């Protein structure tokens, strides 16, 4: 199979390029760019043999003619303009940007602070590709955001089984600096990040509406969540710490929680359930795994769930490849078998 990548120069795009080049079912990875100087893109990979670097001028027709699927690892505001044409041609797309995750264009305008360039009709044909919970059957797959992935994975069993008060959810999520993208800013300057910790976009992060959209598919009466985000002084990794009040009707809480998580993820190869152990970022760094643990306080009847992922893998490129595998009926773990770095 041949696949195309648009947007390879960002952190997620670079990791995606590496994953696709090691994928056992992919023969060729073609890079497409809107830059006029094609060599500027190939120089990013100049430590690799020239034979493995295929850079072309961006052209939708050429992408569809010479590839079996395309991955967009572009900033918000790019892919929406091409979505309808790709869908009309039934061409498989895995979109890592946020352009088509939200079903309501008004929500996109509110949270992404730019005009949507995609119609309601087009949005209705998109699959939200949270891989553990979707069949990924539509040709256009919107890859979830990193904060959304970790949060939804940690909340899914509790919400689906109605084990918690649906109006009691508080999420405190923290990500490595690569989660902010490659564009330079004061917030990601080494001097400001190193030996520091800062909150940002508290209750304003653009991943909040996709989290609520999915939670309300599982539970239509789901209440709003309190959602805070912070920037860790590390390159990669994301921890979502979730607090929720256990429903009054639930007894034998520890056993019920354990059973719900194990039943939900028993056949999911990239989810590791740790029960009453709290995972740390080292357990998943560099891998496509999600590790989930929890602690229940019987005095307050509050459960604390900790969900950790690598924001560039399960939070972006790794999940994109997982979606690709599911769409084409391949082994879900193809190209994703690397273990965590651990050190």
Q: For 33-87, how does the pLDDT look when each residue is reduced to its tens digit (9 = 90+)?
A: 987 677 777 777 767 655 568 899 999 999 999 999 999 999 988 998 899 999 9
3-state SS assignment for residue 113: coil
Task: Write down the pLDDT at residue 99.
Answer: 93
Task: Write down the pLDDT at residue 160.
Answer: 98
Catalytic residues: 146
Q: In the chain, which stretches have pLDDT less than 50?
A: none
Rounded percentage of the chain residues whose pLDDT exceeds 90: 75
Kindly state the tokens that stand for 151.
Answer: 């949060």
Q: Is 303 exposed, middle or buried (0-12, 13-18, 19+ CB in 10 A)?
A: buried
Looking at CATH, the fold of the domain delimited by 2-144+314-327 is given as Rossmann fold (3.40.50)
CA distances in angstroms from 150 to 35, 92, 236, 270, 343, listed in the order given = 33, 25, 14, 12, 22
In CATH terms, the superfamily for domain 147-311 is: Dihydrodipicolinate Reductase; domain 2 (3.30.360.10)
Q: List every span in the chain annotated with CATH 3.40.50.720.
A: 2-144+314-327
3-state SS assignment for residue 173: strand
256 phi and psi, to 5 degrees? -65, -45
CA diameter of the chain:
64
Q: List every span in the chain annotated with CATH 3.30.360.10.
A: 147-311
Give the predicted TM-score (pTM) of the model: 0.94
């Amino acid at each position: 199979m041949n696949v195309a990548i648009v947007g390879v120069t960002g952190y997620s795009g670079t990791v995606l390029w590496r994953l696709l080049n090691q994928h056992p079912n992919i023969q060729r990875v073609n890079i497409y760019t809107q830059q006029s100087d094609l060599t500027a893109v190939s120089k990013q990979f100049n430590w690799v043999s020239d034979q493995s670097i295929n850079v072309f001028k961006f052209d939708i027709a050429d992408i569809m003619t010479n590839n079996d699927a395309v991955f967009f690892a572009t900033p918000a505001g790019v892919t929406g303009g091409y979505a309808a044409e790709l869908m009309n041609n039934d061409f498989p797309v895995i979109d890592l940007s946020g352009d088509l995750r939200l079903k309501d264009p008004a929500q996109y305008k509110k949270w992404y602070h730019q005009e949507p360039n995609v119609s309601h009709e087009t949005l209705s044909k998109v699959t939200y590709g949270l891989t553990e919970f979707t069949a990924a059957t539509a040709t256009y797959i919107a890859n979830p955001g990193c904060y959304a992935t970790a949060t939804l994975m940690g909340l899914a069993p509790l919400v689906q089984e109605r084990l918690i008060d649906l109006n009691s959810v508080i999420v405190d999520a923290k990500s490595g600096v690569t989660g902010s993208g490659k564009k330079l800013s004061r917030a990601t300057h080494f001097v400001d990040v190193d030996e520091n910790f800062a909150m940002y976009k508290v209750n304003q992060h653009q991943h909040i509406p996709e989290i609520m959209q999915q939670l309300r598919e599982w539970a239509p009466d789901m209440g709003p969540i309190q959602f805070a985000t912070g920037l860790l002084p590390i390159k990669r990794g994301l921890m979502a710490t979730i607090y929720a009040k256990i429903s009054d009707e639930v007894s034998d809480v520890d056993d019920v929680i354990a059973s719900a998580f194990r039943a939900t993820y028993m056949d999911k190869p990239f989810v590791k359930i740790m029960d009453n152990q709290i995972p740390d970022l080292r357990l998943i760094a560099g891998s496509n795994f999600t590790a989930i643990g929890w602690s229940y306080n019987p005095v307050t009847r509050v459960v604390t769930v900790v969900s950790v992922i690598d924001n560039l893998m399960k939070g972006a490129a790794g999940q994109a490849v997982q979606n690709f595998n599911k769409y084409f009926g391949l082994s879900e773990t193809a190209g994703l078998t690397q273990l965590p770095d651990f050190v």
